[in-house]
A and B are shown apart, each in its own frame.
Chain A
Amino acid sequence: RKEVEQDPGPFNVPEGATVAFNCTYSNSASQSFFWYRQDCRKEPKLLMSVYSSGNEDGRFTAQLNRASQYISLLIRDSKLSDSATYLCVVTLGDYKLSFGAGTTVTVRA
């Protein structure tokens, strides 16, 4: 079983729509959780950390469910510039990151 699993998508949504997707992780000892964004042929960039209480950053909302071992990301009022691959990342609290394969989101005009 992979450490981090994501629905690859793609999620094709119109501008202004809301899109949400999850990722699941296998190690219950995981301590830190992140969403990264990766554009085509570029390096991953940190979008946001995910906290136990859930957190919001502008149009982006992240949730963590430790009991079910999943993390979610919701994007409201989608923009064309939100088109990217979103990577779910989990760590055991040290510096080693485990990446999901990514969920592709395409926002159309």
Chain B
Amino acid sequence: GAVVSQHPSWVICKSGTSVKIECRSLDFQATTMFWYRQFPKQSLMLMATSNEGSKATYEQGVEKDKFLINHASLTLSTLTVTSAHPEDSSFYICSASVRLAGNYEQYFGPGTRLTVT
């Protein structure tokens, strides 16, 4: 199957700093990528849909000025958590969508565990 990578896999930062997370599709081109957040013992929550060459579409309740998404190429999307606070500590997972035989399949990156101190 298709491979999606994320970098970094884990990061610890101080409150008030910004953190950038990269999501790459390694062996395919993804016009659409997704960013999810997962708190302990909770479901994955879609934060935003990232489309190459256009602005991201954010889900209700997600601050677009705090979670900056850039999808500059067909293989790379980045999520920047600006002015991070402890409540932003979470598991951030990206996925890339590929249309196969008329169906959309999503491939997930390994996730980035963010801890804000």
Which of B42-50, B67-75, B79-87 is the interface stretch? B42-50
Please determine whether A101 and B113 come into contact, CB atoms closer than 8 angstroms. no
Please determine whether B46 and A43 come into contact, CB atoms closer than 8 angstroms. no
0/1 interface trace, chain A 61-102, chain B, CB 8 Å (1 if under): 000000000000000000000000001000100111101111
- Tally of contact residues, B, Cβ under 8 A: 21
Please determine whether A101 and B41 come into contact, CB atoms closer than 8 angstroms. yes
Q: Check A43/B110 contact, CB under 8 A, given A94-B104, A95-B104.
A: yes
Residues of A within 8 A of B34 (CB): 95, 97
Please determine whether A100 and B111 come into contact, CB atoms closer than 8 angstroms. no
- With both beta carbons as reference points, the residue of chain A lying nearest to B111 in the complex is identified as A43
Q: Check A44/B104 contact, CB under 8 A, given A95-B32, A95-B97.
A: no
Please determine whether A87 and B109 come into contact, CB atoms closer than 8 angstroms. no
Please determine whether B43 and A101 come into contact, CB atoms closer than 8 angstroms. yes
Determine how close the nearest CB of chain B comes to the CB of A74; give it in whole angstroms: 22
Residues of A within 8 A of B115 (CB): none
Residues of B near any A CB (own CB < 8 A):
32, 34, 41-46, 49, 91, 93, 97, 103-106, 108-111, 113
